[in-house]
Structure 1
């Protein structure tokens, strides 16, 4: 059945799942959000076997994408792309060679390029500490049928009562990277739910607007030098 919405201890969380949870509890004003989004894309492209490209598309959508893929494919794209006047071209930013992860490309109009190649795509909303969707993780594979396990897994993360298409009872697939992605999405949603519950408690107690409730929690976390999730958990635990 669907993936359980439970928190895995940080020490046992695989890298992609941890990156998604970390983003979900990152305060909106932190300057490293852009870097953390790139890490999610690079891990997704590196660890999910059926994914050819993983793109970060900002919200609101301005038509640009940061695309992560294998270093070999990045090199081929760079060599095969001519510099044409007035035409946006991919800008290659290889990832650090030491970490073995996918490299990234700043690629305007990538979504149209992928559609022209007949690729399948699954989009996953990515949100930060306030619960605001700041980008989508767009995962591209050879065709829509190939991407079906990812689509089913993401649906199950949002609704644990939905079954997996292969009938597995533990939420596993034949691609460990897909399992890792779904675990991360499920736990990021759990993180967001905890933070949102704390925000609701603040609103009930003080009757400010939504922004004021978030800023109150942000200040509580800063004062105690803890994460938003830890501040939210402590607030909820102290509820009368």
Structure 2
């Protein structure tokens, strides 16, 4: 299957928001999905002040995680503050260099990360990550030492998912997010919008061709590849055709 062309954003987005939104319009069968997921974790760990560890698990039930670690915990993990957590760190994991420029000191494969994070007393905020079919491709776990500092991430994610949900008392959802947290919430909101557009197109194709949604998604995917469009562009074209008198 011919891969879609390189996507050229029509608007300027921050790196973390862009990584989350681009993932949502990436076809499920693309071979570099794992790299895209790792990029989201790396950017979350480096750009959100309250996050010390950001982990992605493509299949949460198997307990396997790729973990990106912010610079601060890595620098101190062998010092007094984190010495008592050394037994929870995976062997050979502390010295794996992350990409240059992302301000992430290490990435690692960490089986049983959620259990270890709980044992370290970290606060965990989870968020789904979507790919082109609309399926939840992975879970992003954001972990920090300060529950009060990570709480606004939960509020922002919930507000992006459903603006009508009541917010916890005492929280101003967006005002207390730092720049990295804003990036995360903005990216999640855009990913939801991308997902809704693609899902609407899939439903329209399924109805028009009297087929199931899986087959309709594959039809959309092939149409995007054949015409050299991104999946989102192909979905938008389908929706616009149905809306045009």
For Structure 1 versus Structure 2, the TM-score category normalised by the shorter chain is: 0.7 to 0.9
| Residues 42-90 of structure 1, C-alpha deviations (whole Å, 9 max, x = no match) | 00000000001000012252111111013464466589757xxxx9635
Give the 3 Å change call, closer, same or farther, for CA 211–51 of structure 1 in structure 2.
Answer: same
- Which residue number in structure 1 is paired with residue 51 of structure 2? 51
RMSD: 2.5
Deviations 1:112-155 (A, max 9, x none): 11101111101000110001111100000114333110000010
Task: State the partner residue of 2:135.
Answer: 132
TM-score (norm: length of structure 2): 0.84
Corresponding position of 1:61: 61
Q: Deviations over 1:134-178 (max 9, x none)?
A: 110000011433311000001000111246556658x34341111
Distance 1:127 1:78 in 2: 36
Q: What corresponds to 2:33 in structure 1?
A: 33
**Which of 170, 179, 187 does residue 182 from structure 2 map onto?**
179
Distance 2:122 2:164 in 1: 29
The list of structure 1 runs, each at least 4 consecutive aligned residues, that deviate by more than 4 angstroms after superposition, is 75-82, 163-169
What is the aligned residue count? 228
* In 2: Cα distance, 1:67 partner to 1:90 partner: 13
CA distance in 2 between counterparts of 1:122 and 1:13 reads 23
Question: How far did residue 211 of structure 1 move?
Answer: 1.3
How is 1:4-23 mapped onto 2 (pairs within 5 angstroms)?
Answer: 10-23=10-23
TM-score normalized by the length of structure 1: 0.86
Structure-2 change in CA distance of 1:194 and 1:151 (3 Å): same
Kindly state the Cα deviation for residue 105 of structure 1 after the two structures are TM-superposed. 1.0
Alignment partner, residue 155 of structure 1:
158
* Superposition deviation, residue 101 in structure 1: 3.8
Moved more, 21-30 or 55-64: 55-64
Unaligned runs of 5+ in 2: 1-8
Indicate the residue corresponding to 1:4 in structure 2.
none
Q: Structure 1: any 5+ residue segments left out of the alignment?
A: 1-8
